Structure 1
């Protein structure tokens, strides 16, 4: 376990990097990253894919959601329980219809949209983050929602980070509760991790 005391400084640096990207660059890199993920055997084999609802500065998953639906896959996204500090996977059929924005600025299905999907049915979870390390760890916004979700014994799928190449850093401090990823896809390539060692395709 590494000392996580410098995580706030890493978050500040990564936020500055994301804020410095142009809209055109962000769009082009989003399309490239999503297209690469859609070429993987992990994506092809997945019947149910959990995506995230993109914020302005994150990789836009709209094209990936469309590929899922075109391939007959079930798409789920998180509905956040802030009181319980957990996310509930909810099936959706549109990125626009039945959506609401929470007080935290996160888009999610409203109370009438979609239906909850059991965690053990999710084959692939596309995980967002502020940054990702070359060893397969991520740094989020400090709330721990995805770490708790991925740590559930019911989750037996593949956790895959999706990021701009600008978000990849050599190392991130790792704490006991930080969950490693199986894959990381950026606009520049695909990396797979085994025993915390990187294996690039």
Structure 2
């Protein structure tokens, strides 16, 4: 897949800015709090979360606490959901319904993924088109819903399978939001963009 120089340059710029954030956990907590206080999240019943890697907005702590019921009242109010995570098989993302962090193990690059013996259990499988929300990572975004990922197209292929009612919600640090990012025909725009200081309908 040919990548435009402009998109590559924007990806590098946003990735550098994101990597330089020193207090990612505290800023991530602000982003998560803004997300879960929103009407779309409050009304959702089935949510596909990503588990953060490297410099992404931190989500694993929230998913873990949601599963164990250990959230403080301010973060736990009205947020009990069916949770799932994506994991990579060949060149595509599959979905796994998550009930416990004990179902996971480190995979490639240290990314948490379902234990192989659990992946074919019908109880752990949910169709992508039945989710209310897909919480989406990325490297750069714009207020119009544009998104730049890591260039492999994993999330674009996943989002192409979502239902009409499913909302794609991006989590980002403010420094990742640019005026405009280039979009290709296969790119799937975000419905909402959440940062530490804003909630944007795209």
Task: Report the TM-score when normalising by structure 2.
Answer: 0.84
Aligned equivalent of 1:33: 31
> Which of the residues 53, 56, 59 maps onto 2:57?
59
Report the aligned-residue RMSD.
Answer: 2.0
Deviations 1:115-135 (A, max 9, x none): 111122211000000111121
Which deviates the most, 130-139 or 100-109? 100-109
CA contact (8 A) 2:130 2:162 kept: no
CA spacing shift, 1:62–1:104, aligned 2, 3 Å:
closer
CA contact (8 A) 2:97 2:125 kept: yes
Which deviates the most, 101-110 or 171-180? 101-110
Aligned-partner Cα distance in 1 for 2:60–2:53: 11
Count of matched residue pairs: 186
Aligned-partner Cα distance in 1 for 2:164–2:96: 15
Aligned equivalent of 1:81: 89
Q: Secondary structure at the match of 1:6?
A: helix
Structure 1: 5+ residue stretches without partners:
194-201
CA contact (8 A) 2:95 2:125 kept: yes
Q: Say which structure is richer in helix.
A: 2
Q: Equivalent residues in 2 for 1:186-197 (5 A)?
A: 186-193=195-202
Aligned equivalent of 1:49: 47
Aligned equivalent of 2:6: 6
Structure 2: 5+ residue stretches without partners:
70-75
Aligned equivalent of 1:127: 136
> Deviation of residue 62 (structure 1)?
3.2
TM superposition outliers: structure 1 runs of 4+ over 4 Å: 67-70
Aligned-partner Cα distance in 2 for 1:153–1:43: 17
Task: Report the TM-score when normalising by structure 1.
Answer: 0.85
